[in-house]
Amino acid sequence: MDTKIRETYELWLRKALRDRDLTSELESVAGDEAAVTERFYRQLEFGTGGLRGIIGAGTNRMNVYTVGRVSQGLADYVKAHFPEGKRSIAVSYDSRIKSEYFSREASAVFAENGIKVYIYPELMPTPALSFAVRHLGCAAGVMMTASHNPSEYNGYKVYNSAGCQVTDEAASEISSFIDKADYFEDVSFGSWDELLEKGMISFIGEDTVTAYIENVKSQSLVADEEELDRDVAIVYTPLNGTGLRPVVRTLSECGYTNISVVEEQREPDGTFPTCPYPNPEIRQAMEKGIEKAKSAGADLLIATDPDCDRVGIAVKDNGEYRLLTGNETGILLTEYICELRCFKDTMPEDPLIIKTIVTTEMIEPIAKRWGVRIKDVLTGFKYIGEQIGFLEEKGEESRYVFGFEESYGYLAGTYVRDKDAVVASMMICDMFAYYRARGKSLPEKLAELYSKYGYYLNTLYSFGFEGQEGFYRMRQIMEKLRESGLSPAGIETVSVKDYSRGIEGLPVSDVLKFYLPDGGTVVVRPSGTEPKLKVYLSVKSDDEDSAREEEKKLSASVRQLFG
């Protein structure tokens, strides 16, 4: 075992006493060189996605000491940038294991550093945290969540004063403050109870929750349309996360009267017993919802991930329930929003839709038809939120029409600066009811769009690389791709964009986008939150069958490089 790793492990054995779970785990791996190395070979990296990792003991794990150290770094950053009267941080947490504990410990660090803390008294979604930062005029925000990762993960998202996840420059500076803090010597852990009593920590009131819900409801484009059937049967599942209260409340207040909740996934539960991977992109996570939809004869199934910033749906199609991809839902919402805003004459001057570079290009012809411009940004909704902020600085915030990414994230409105599954759930129900009133199902509307613009097929493949060896293997693969491209797999390319060079005015990012002769693309990037390489394939053809045949050949070739 590396000497430094052993010394660090022994230090944690002596000093990591704040959480008994850590002591037990450290003692249990004594003598297991591989287990010790895995926990200490690196520190969890703080970046634009914040911090995310497996819960447990060590510098490469999410625990009270990694949380405390990051919180101290963020506190130092806030103190460096905001005068005393302007130092406050909003905090929220989801249903994950230790999320509430971590959020309280982080809050105590902030408050001990003289920073006022506003924390939700119960678990609340990520978009509600983004809203609270803006609504309460905070310098920053923290959301304790690992989003849609497996149950053994937790994470720490950081938001700036605009309610947007910190992007590259701020993340880099916060990281530099974190690097200066020792896990045990430099973190100012305060007493939660004492700081609460002193008023340095306060609970966020119900008025803020209501203000958030009212802003969500204000995005509806059909609130005044009485002919819509709002008694349509809807099944909803929060996947044991934070969405139950805000989603059901919003839909109910919008007039939807026939909402059934999946009982096994109703209550918050960080073990996610019926969906170990609580991601609405994955069919397994939707199975209980589909069962409920069948038994209830529902027309629509909606599922939100644990921190309620992503939403997936299933719709009845020829008697079966069809899961729509994130791209398909985004395509439908784009058409619906543009159609309604043009019809109601509420489309702004020089309107703008913002999407990520891995999101379907089918959005281009749809936007062109409605006179809307498209702005491409790097993968991650934080970059969409950042663009909204740029518009606001120029007094052009009203130009923003919609933003979405292929990974089931959507935002209508600018009241928050992150994807919001609460507003997306409402918009999906409104869209469903609107087209239903005109005799169309969502699959029929989608088929209509494919017929008009061609069939765009987008698929995502993830290749896992666990542990220290996997971490270095991912780096090697990206280096080889830059040297040899896709040619080792027999894939011909006509050009490549290497976003590590900071092209097109975008921040530097470890992303490669290969353009194929037939107009297709292959995008490769390491995940910012999981030990995976993500590969996005895009194929366009005249119809679904030919597109799937082309994709089958392309994906088989790609597997030679990563499989």
Q: Which residues are catalytic?
A: 147
Among 385, 378, 376, 388, residue whose Cα is nearest residue 418: 385
CA distance 312 to 282: 9
356 phi and psi angles, rounded to 5 deg: -90, 165
Cβ-contact 24, 16 below 8 angstroms: no
Tokens linked to 195: 């700081």
Burial category of 52 from C-beta neighbours within 10 Å (exposed 0-12, middle 13-18, buried 19 and up): buried
Could you list the beta-strand ranges (E) of 305-399: 311-317, 320-323, 352-356, 373-377
Per-residue H/E/C for 117-161: EEECCCCCCHHHHHHHHHHCCCCEEEEECCCCCCCCEEEEEEECC
Among 308, 296, 144, residue whose Cα is nearest residue 237: 308
CA distance 143 to 304: 17
Among 335, 457, 454, residue whose Cα is nearest residue 404: 335
Residue 375's DSSP bridge partners are: 354
- Which amino acid would we find at residue 537? L
Tokens linked to 550: 């082309």
Q: Which H or E run includes 510? A: none
DSSP code for 265: G
CA distance 246 to 212: 9
Among 288, 352, 294, residue whose Cα is nearest residue 319: 294
- Interacting residues of 446 by C-beta distance below 8 A, sequence separation 6+: 324, 328, 331, 332
Residue 51's DSSP bridge partners are: 156
Cα-Cα-Cα-Cα dihedral sign, residues 473, 359, 442, 388: positive
Residue 321's DSSP bridge partners are: 316
Phi-psi region of 147 (alpha: psi -120 to 50; beta: other; left: phi over 0): left
DSSP code for 349: S
The distance in angstroms from the start CA to the end CA of the chain is 30
